[in-house]
Amino acid sequence: MVCVIVPAAALAGCSTKYQGYHSGIDGVLWRQVASFEDPVSRTLFVPVANEPTGYLDDVGGVRWDGAAASAADLRLEDGGVVLYDLSSTESIAKLSVFISSGPRSDEPTDEGPFYNGPSAVFTCFGIEARFRAEATPSVNRVIFDECPATLVMTVP
C-alpha cells in the first residue's frame, strides 16, 4: 500500500495500485475505476479510426507531457484518465494510460456498512496498436509494474 500526500489539496490519504477485479478493494471503488477504464478500453480495443494518428486522437483523457510541474494541472481530484508517452508511425500507435479512481465515495460496502481499505486506487498500462490495410488493428496491452511517481502523487 502506498500512502500519499496531495500537496495541492493538502489532504492525506492512502492509495494502492489496482490489479484488476481481485485487487482487494470493494465493489464501490472497483465501479469507480471501471467508470473511467471501460470507456477508454472500448476506444482502444474497438477503434473507429483505422490509422495511428486518428486512433490516438480518439482516445479520451487528459494529455500529460511528463513534466512534474504540469502534473498538478491534471485535475485528478475526482479521478480520471491521463494519457502520456503518445507516439505514432505510419503503422503503429503507442501510448501509456494512467487511471485514478478518485476518492472512494462514502457508501456502505457491498458486504456491509464498514469499509477497511484504500481510499483510492490507480493503475497504468501501455498500449501498442498495429495497423494494416483493410484489417482491424492489432492492439496489445501491457500492465506496468510501476506507475509514474509524479502521477501517483496526484491520487487523492
Q: State the Cα–Cα distance between residues 82 and 62, nearest whole angstrom.
A: 5
pLDDT digits over 107-147, tens only? Answer: 877 777 777 778 899 999 999 999 998 788 999 999 999 99
Collapsing DSSP states into helix, strand and coil, what is residue 84?
strand
Q: Which residues contact 23 (CB under 8 A, 6 or more apart)?
A: 16, 17, 30, 121
pLDDT digits (tens, 9 = 90+) for 3-50: 333 322 223 346 677 665 556 678 888 889 999 999 999 999 999 999
- Please report, as a single letter, which amino acid is at residue 126: G
